[in-house]
């Protein structure tokens, strides 16, 4: 008869080991070997360089200062950091479940025919983690914290790239305003030429009205671009966490700084570095551990409790000088809970499966982002080359048409048209350059470059 409990426990252990080997999903192991390393990226230009951080793409002290300010003061990033701290507390709570609970009680009682009796009691209870269920709960909390830590890294990288791109946006808006102002000066010079020719009887006032229409339209465009510049500065101020919404302390670069093109084929820059993939991986690990906890909730649990108690007529004598102690152990097993435990298990399985597909979605997004950025880099290079050729031709045409108009050889509409085209192409070059530099930052972000190496 005495061997029956041992035989029962052994049977349960064997059943559990078989259950664990069959149930634990291999999704986390599959995720480690599925990082898109077999993707054939398109060839990059020779100026692509090995980089480790986003700030290496735009190595300017002023940008470093702005990024440091954003990382310290951005409200959204600080909330993500607090979420990580909360997950660390969850780890502490999960670890506490594996430790004994100790409580101390002291009370006094008095009846009609007896003196006051004082009782002191120390109670200790502990759930023995026979099946490592508490260990699985701790693992789930730890993996969740690692997932949150990777999410924080992703948020830091995204914020850093946004600050860098906002910095480029401000430079671009300033350059476009300068181009529009140069165009306005050219159009106003055309007005002077038209007025001079009219006074000498070589033109009409219709030509002057046409030129003034173009000038007024350009002034409207300048007002629009100045508002865009103010908006870009406010956007950067919000990223920096400034309540004044002003960034007047920028030095104001006149030209675009060089932005390095990150190399996509370096082993240090494969998709394994992407923090969102890391977060998705640890989320799978956390869900797998939680699933094991749900399995083990179906199994018996062993608890041990001990109590030290002493009573006497005075508080001092009742302080456990001659205590009575008891030690109890018990096994409890779930028999019927209306299907709750099995429903929890089924839900945990689906959570694990869902985390696996979330990882797959994140991986596909990562591959798409890298390939899209590489394609855009190639496109921007070609477009800049052709727009540069068109701009140089338009500039020569503008000089020729200006001279020919003074001689009365071409119509004023031709002169205004080539002027508009010249400055429009120059503005397109600025836009293309800004977009190319911004895309290189996007490429670095897609490759998993972070704030620190």
Summarised one tens digit per residue, pLDDT across range 139-157 is: 999 999 999 999 999 999 9
Closest by CA to 132, choosing from 299, 326, 246, 308, is 299
Comparing 40-44, 71-75, 372-376, the range with the smallest average pLDDT is 40-44
Q: Please tell me the predicted confidence (pLDDT) of residue 238.
A: 92
Q: Residue 34: pLDDT above 90? A: no
Q: Please tell me the predicted confidence (pLDDT) of residue 398.
A: 86
Return the structure tokens found at 13. Answer: 């252990």
Q: Please tell me the predicted confidence (pLDDT) of residue 127.
A: 82
Average pLDDT, the chain: 82
Which of the four pLDDT bands, split at 50, 70 and 90, describes residue 114?
low
Angle at 378 between CA 375 and CA 381, to 5 degrees: 145
Of 432 and 117, the structure prediction assigns the larger pLDDT to 432
> Starting from the edge strand earliest in sequence, which strands make up the sheet with 324-332, in order?
101-109, 117-128, 301-312, 324-332
Q: Residue 49: pLDDT above 60? A: yes
d(CA 207, CA 415): 11
Long-range contact pairs involving 366-370 (C-beta distance under 8 Å, separation at least 24): 366/36, 366/271, 366/274, 366/276, 366/277, 366/446, 367/36, 367/39, 367/271, 369/442, 369/445, 369/446, 370/39, 370/41, 370/264, 370/271, 370/443, 370/446, 370/447
Catalogue all structural domains in the chain, each as residue range(s) with its CATH number.
Answer: 7-95+134-298+358-446 (1.20.1600.10)
Return the structure tokens found at 206. Answer: 């219709």
The whole-number average pLDDT for the span 88-109 is 82
The whole-number average pLDDT for the span 255-264 is 72
Return the structure tokens found at 35. Answer: 């990082």
- CB-based contact 134:292 (threshold 8 Å): no
Q: Residue 13: pLDDT above 50? A: no
Q: Residue 7: pLDDT above 80? A: no
d(CA 363, CA 140): 22
Which of the four pLDDT bands, split at 50, 70 and 90, describes residue 188?
confident
Q: Please tell me the predicted confidence (pLDDT) of residue 3.
A: 40
Using the structure block, give the residue that is written with the tokens 């004994």: 100
The count of other CB atoms within 10 Å of the CB of residue 232 is 21
Q: Please tell me the predicted confidence (pLDDT) of residue 303.
A: 83
Task: Rank 11-20, 192-201, 314-323 by mean pLDDT and report only the highest.
Answer: 192-201
Q: Please tell me the predicted confidence (pLDDT) of residue 270.
A: 62
Q: How many CA atoms within 13 Å lie on the side-chain side of 138?
A: 11
Return the structure tokens found at 2. Answer: 């005495």
Q: Residue 295: pLDDT above 50? A: yes
d(CA 295, CA 293): 5
Of 106 and 303, the structure prediction assigns the larger pLDDT to 303
The whole-number average pLDDT for the span 86-95 is 88
Which of the four pLDDT bands, split at 50, 70 and 90, describes residue 112?
low
d(CA 139, CA 84): 16
The whole-number average pLDDT for the span 26-49 is 73
Comparing 55-59, 192-196, 278-282, 351-355, the range with the smallest average pLDDT is 192-196
- Show the DSSP H helices in 407-449 as ranges: 412-446
The whole-number average pLDDT for the span 388-399 is 91
Of 397 and 201, the structure prediction assigns the larger pLDDT to 397
The whole-number average pLDDT for the span 411-439 is 89
d(CA 267, CA 404): 60
Q: How far is Cα of residue 42 from the mean position of the Cα atoms in its chain?
A: 26
Summarised one tens digit per residue, pLDDT across range 330-361 is: 777 777 676 888 999 999 999 999 999 999 99
Q: Residue 181: pLDDT above 60? A: yes
Comparing 11-15, 312-316, 403-407, the range with the smallest average pLDDT is 11-15
Tell me the percentage of the chain whose pLDDT exceeds 90.
Answer: 39
The whole-number average pLDDT for the span 101-123 is 75
Torsion of CA 418, 222, 429, 168, to 10 degrees: 170
Q: Residue 15: pLDDT above 50? A: no
DSSP state of 305: E
Closest by CA to 443, choosing from 57, 9, 70, is 57
* CA end-to-end distance (rounded Å), the chain: 65
């Amino acid at each position: 008869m005495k061997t029956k409990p041992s035989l029962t426990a052994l049977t349960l252990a064997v059943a559990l080991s078989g259950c664990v080997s069959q149930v634990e999903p291999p999704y986390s192991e599959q995720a480690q070997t599925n990082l898109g390393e077999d993707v054939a990226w398109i060839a990059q230009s020779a100026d692509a360089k090995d980089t480790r951080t986003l700030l290496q793409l735009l190595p300017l002290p002023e940008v470093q200062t702005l990024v440091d300010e954003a990382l310290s003061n951005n409200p959204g990033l600080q909330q993500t950091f607090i979420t990580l701290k909360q997950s660390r507390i969850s780890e502490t709570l999960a670890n506490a479940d594996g430790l004994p609970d100790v409580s101390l009680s002291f009370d006094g009682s008095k009846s009609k025919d007896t003196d006051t009796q004082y009782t002191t009691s120390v109670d200790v209870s502990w759930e023995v983690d026979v099946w490592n269920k508490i260990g699985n709960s701790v693992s789930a909390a730890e993996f969740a914290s690692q997932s949150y830590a990777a999410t924080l890294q992703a948020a830091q990288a995204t914020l850093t790239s946004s600050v860098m791109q906002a910095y480029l946006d401000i430079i671009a808006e300033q350059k476009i305003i300068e181009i529009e102002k140069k165009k306005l000066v050219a159009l106003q010079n055309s007005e002077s030429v038209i007025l001079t020719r009219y006074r000498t009887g070589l033109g009409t006032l219709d030509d002057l009205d046409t030129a003034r229409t173009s000038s007024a339209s350009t002034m409207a465009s300048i007002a629009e671009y100045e508002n865009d510049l103010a908006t870009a500065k406010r956007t950067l101020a919000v990223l920096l966490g400034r309540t004044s919404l002003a960034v007047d302390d920028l030095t104001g670069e006149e030209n675009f700084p060089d932005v390095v093109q990150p190399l996509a084929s370096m082993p240090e820059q494969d998709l394994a570095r992407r923090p969102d993939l890391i977060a998705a991986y640890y989320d799978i690990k956390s869900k797998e551990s939680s699933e094991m906890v749900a399995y083990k909730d179906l199994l018996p649990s062993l608890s041990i409790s001990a109590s030290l108690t002493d009573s006497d007529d005075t508080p001092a004598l009742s302080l456990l000088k001659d205590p009575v102690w008891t030690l109890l152990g018990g096994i409890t097993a779930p028999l019927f809970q209306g299907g709750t435990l099995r429903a929890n298990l089924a839900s945990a399985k689906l959570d694990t499966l869902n985390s696996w597909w979330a990882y797959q979605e994140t991986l596909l997004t990562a591959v798409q982002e890298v390939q899209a950025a590489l394609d855009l880099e190639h496109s921007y290079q070609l477009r800049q080359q052709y727009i540069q050729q068109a701009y140089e031709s338009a500039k020569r045409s503008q000089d020729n048409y200006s001279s020919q108009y003074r001689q009365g050889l071409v119509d004023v509409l031709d002169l205004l048209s080539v002027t508009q085209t010249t400055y429009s192409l120059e503005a397109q070059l600025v836009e293309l350059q800004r977009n190319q530099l911004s895309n290189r930052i996007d490429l670095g972000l897609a490759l998993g470059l972070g704030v620190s190496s």
